[in-house]
Structures are given as C-alpha cells and as structure tokens.
A and B are shown apart, each in its own frame.
Chain A
Amino acid sequence: MKRLIFIFLLIVQAAIILLVAFQYEWIKDNGKPIFLETKTPITTYHANNDVYVEYEINYLPAEIWEIDEELDYREKVFVVLAPDDTGVHRAVRVTKERPELRAEEVSLPATYSYVDSIKDEYRVDYGIEKISQVDPGKDKHRRWLITLKVAPWGQKAITEVAEL
C-alpha cells in the first residue's frame, strides 16, 4: 500500500510541474492575443538580457476604477481591456469581482499597488513586467509593443516584443 502511495506521489509531483510548463506552451499556441503598449524608458534588469517594462495599463485613471472599498496592498483586481482603433488594448474598467465581458473585451487579473492622489490614478501590477531574453539591440527609449496571449483562466504568456 505504501509503495503505491509513494509511486502515486511521485507521479503527482511530476504532473504538477509539467502542468505548469505545458500550460505555458498551450497558452502560446491557443491563448487570445492582446497587444500592449509600454511606457518609456525601459530599464534593464540585471545582466541577463532581462528588462523591466511599465505598461500603459499599469496606471489606471480614477474614472475607470469601479471599486469603492479601500484595497490592501497586492489585493487582486480585474482589469478589463478592449482594443482601440489601432488594435492596441487599453483599460476600460477595473472591478473587484470577475467581470462580465462584452465582445472584444479581455480581462486580466492584477494586483493593486498604490494610489497616486495627485495624478488621480491607480497603480497595479500584472506579473508580466519583467521580460527575459530580450534582444539587447532594442531601443530602450522608444515605446514597445508587447504581444501577449491570455488563457481563459487568466494566465498569460508574452510571445513577441517589438518596437513601436
């Protein structure tokens, strides 16, 4: 009996790790593509050709913030995005509960960071601000267009980084 449990436990552990890896591959192939614009300048993260970017949608104006209660640092929120005329996705509203989406809309889970009361905007993080293995020749003083694939359950994968 204990032998069986041991073998089963090994399989479960391997499955969990593989699941995370395969989920990523799946999202890359089948996720819904969205296009995000970054802010400038882009800062380099340690040696590794990693960069740290800030997206336009990291800063959300108070008009689209549909949450009344005061949030704790890193509490989860949902940011609803919709493409504008050029195809780039912009934030349209922010909710606390999982939002109902109209056509064209996508929602991204994010964590609340802080509120800037002077600019009247909210700062959130998506967990995709760090991009690894970026071609070092890219101009860090121009805006970039990041292509992202999103899974229905909210996880995402960066598939392309281009200069705008």
Chain B
Amino acid sequence: MKRQELEREGKEWVKEGIISEEQLNRILARKKETGPNYIIILFAVLLTGLGFLTFIMSEWARQAHLSRVVILLLVTLFFYILGDILHRKNNTLYGISFIVLGYIVFGSGLLLVIDIYQVTLFSAWPFIIWTAVGLVLFYLYQHPLLYFVLVVIGTIGQLYNGLSFSDFNWILFVVMVLGAGYFAFREELGLYYYLLAASFALQSIVLTMTVSEHYYWYLIPILILYLVGDALREQENAVVISYVTLISIFIYGMFQTLLLQDEWYSPQIPSFDTSFFIVWLFVFIFALYVKWRTERKEEMVDFVLFLPIVLLPQAHLFSIIVLFVFSLGWIFIGYRIQLPQRIMLGTVAFLFSTFNVYIQYAWDALNKSLFFFIGGVLLFLISFIFERQRRRLKKEGSDLR
C-alpha cells in the first residue's frame, strides 16, 4: 500500500477505534523508512529533464517565433506551480520533482531563446542566472535533489565558460561557493559538502587552465580547499571535503608523473617559478601551522602530495616517490590509529601508484602478454602481503586485549 493510501485508510481506522493515533504514526514512520521509490523518481526527473534539453534542439523549437517562447514559459510555470502545490500538500517527493523539472525547463528555455534569437555570448551569464535561481529555490524547498541539480548546472556552466571563452567566471564561482557553501554549512549534510567540494575541484581545473600558465598552480586552490575542510572539522560530515581534496590531489599527482615525462611539455616548464613558490610557501606554512596547532601531526603525511615537486631537480622521480610515500603513510597511520577507512584508501592509492609506474615503464618495454601477466602477478603479491599484514595486526590487536 502506498503511504498516502495508508494515511487515508489509517485515519479511518483511528476513527473506528481499530488502532490508536500513536500506532498509526508508528506505522507511517515505518513506511517512510522502507523508502519510497526514490531512485525511480530521481531517474524519472532526470530523463524528463534530459528530454526537454534535447527537445530544445528539435526543429519545432528552433523557430524564432514568440509562440515558442510563450509555450515554453507556460510549461515552466506549470511545473513550478504544480510542484509547489504538491509540496504544500505534503507530497514532498513529487512536489520537488516537478519543481526540479520546472527549474530544468527554465534553464533549457533560457539557452534556447538565447540561441534562436542569436544573442552572442561572451561569458557564461545564463548559467549564473540559472545557478542563482537554483539557490533561491533551494532556500525555499531545501531538498537534496535541488542542491544536486544546481551544483551540477553551475559546474557545467564553469566548464563551458572555460572551454568556450578560455576564461574563468569568477561571478559564477563566487555565487556557487558562497551560496551553496552557506547552505552546506547550515544543513551540515555530507552530501552537500561532497558535491560542492567536487565542484570546487573541477572549477579549479578551469581556473588553472585559463588563468595560470602551468598546471602546477592547481596545488594552490586545492590546498585552500583542504584548509577549508580542516577548518570545518567541528562538523563531522565536513570530513568528506578532505577526502575529495586528497583524491583530487592524488589524481593530479598521477597526472604530473605523465606531464613531467612528456617530451613536448616538460621542456616548457620553467626550472624555477618564484611567484608560484612564494604563494605556495605562504599557504603551505599556514597549513602546517594549523595542523601543528590542532595537534593532528599524523595527518601531516597528507602534505607530501602538496609539495611543489616540479621545482625540484629530477622532478619526475620525486613525483612518483611522493605518491608512494603518501599511500604507504596512510596505510601505516591507518593501522596505527586503527582506522579501516584510511587503510582502505591508502591501499587503493598504493595500487594506483604501482600501476601508474608499471604502465608507464613496462608498456613500451615489455611484450604485451607479459605485461598483463606480470601485472596480474604483481596484484596477487600485493594482495597477499596486505592480507598477511592485516591478519598479523588483527592478531596483535586481540593479543593486546
């Protein structure tokens, strides 16, 4: 039985004295826990939204005629108002779905009129409006789905801005970080922090590619994000920010090992970049100070990934070494403070580092079938060592007790 039906029926039962009011509430609460068709609705919204986004490319929609605009507006308003009515009738999920649809149709409509009326764009301003509208909607309805959609749209807008105009849109960035950041901070929801941090990491790529000349400037925004995550330690869920930063910087580290070997790009890297070094040193010392003050010295191993390897001689070799130091450090510390999550992430990082090196060096040198064989054997070995280590530690742990 659907929750709504149950609610209706249940009220009858209470009236007839079959069950008490309290019992009904408990039954309803149970119904909620088993979860409605959340995923199905999510996909329904996404598919319908995508339907609209592709529909605006159709021949019918692409006629520059006011009737098209009016129809589009009516559809937008219809979705919004229907959603609002449903939401007020406590049918939250459907209400939000229609509001999200209205939101998507609004944005696609805006992009459509811009295109059919030949408005030439010189920045991603439609995306700024789209994101800002999303923030206001989120303020009104406070639903994770809205948050998700608006962060995705803002991020796409920034990527679009970077690709189309080779420029970083600071307004969009500030609107996203301040607006969405404020809501994440207020709601203290891990999902929000996760989405926003991922968006920040992606936007930083655009920033690095458009504003700075070299890839290593990416270290600075990510280090700042790491500091933000650190500063929000009070909130338990904010820890995902640190995870997102470390994943980003680890991927950066692997990418760096390739770049430093690249025959075309690596000679263009200056041997020393003073302005970068000064900025980096400033942020880095601050970060170290924070870690030292809060007495979480074991986390200092995270900072090996934030070292400006590129400025060192033999940078290529060091770029590989830091990856290993980081992953082994995480595994080691994970065992020390008994945090399985750290061990897991450290292990994955170690695997990636190993394969990064293996693929780079062995792909050309080895026969292909030998390449895969040795890779497989290498994995077996690593897994064996880890398993033995895990058992030994488990045994030690139980001995201690």
Q: Which residues of A contact B (CB under 8 A)?
A: 2, 5-6, 9-10, 12-14, 16-18, 20-21, 23-25, 47-48, 72-76, 109, 111, 126-128, 132-133, 154-158
Contacts and interface: CB of A to CB of B under 8 A. Distances in A.
Contacts of A10: 77, 80-81
B136 interface: yes
A109 B120 contact: yes
Given A5-B140, A9-B133, A157 B73 contact: no
B122 A111 contact: yes
A23 B64 CA distance: 13
B120 A155 contact: yes
A154 B120 CA distance: 9
Contacts of B302: none
B73 A14 contact: yes
A74 B164 CA distance: 7
19 contacts: A6-B84, A9-B133, A10-B77, A13-B76, A14-B77, A18-B73, A20-B113, A21-B69, A23-B117, A48-B59, A72-B166, A73-B166, A75-B167, A126-B120, A127-B120, A127-B121, A132-B116, A133-B64, A154-B120
B119 interface: yes
Given A20-B110, A23-B117, A48-B62, A74 B80 contact: no
B372 interface: no
B110 A74 contact: no
Contact of B69 (A17, A47, A111): A17
A16 B110 contact: yes
B118 A24 contact: yes
A45 to B, nearest CB: 11
Contacts of B84: 6
B360 interface: no
A6 B114 contact: no
B59 A75 contact: no
Given A10-B80, A75-B166, A17 B119 contact: no
Contact of A74 (B62, B119, B166): B166
A48 B109 CA distance: 20
A93 B167 CA distance: 24
Interface in B127-168: 129, 133, 136-137, 139-140, 164-167
Nearest to A128: B118
Interface residues of B, number: 36
A75 B80 contact: no
Contacts, number: 86
Contacts of B106: 13, 17
A16 B73 contact: no
A111 B122 CA distance: 8
A109 B62 CA distance: 24
B80 A155 contact: no
Interface in B308-367: none
A76 B114 CA distance: 18
Nearest to B139: A5
Nearest to A12: B133
Which 9 residue pairs across A and B have the least CB separation, nearest first?
A: A127-B120, A24-B117, A72-B166, A20-B113, A21-B69, A74-B165, A76-B122, A13-B106, A73-B166
B163 to A, nearest CB: 9
Interface in B196-248: 210
Given A10-B77, A109-B122, A20 B117 contact: yes
B73 A9 contact: no
A17 B122 contact: no
A14 B133 CA distance: 12
Contacts of A128: 118, 120
B26 to A, nearest CB: 31
A23 to B, nearest CB: 7
Contact of B129 (A5, A16, A74, A75): A16
Nearest to B122: A76
Given A6-B84, A72-B166, A17 B120 contact: no
A13 B133 contact: yes
Nearest to B137: A9
A127 B122 CA distance: 10
B91 interface: no
Contacts of B139: 5
B383 interface: no
A16 B126 CA distance: 10
B385 to A, nearest CB: 49
A18 B69 contact: yes
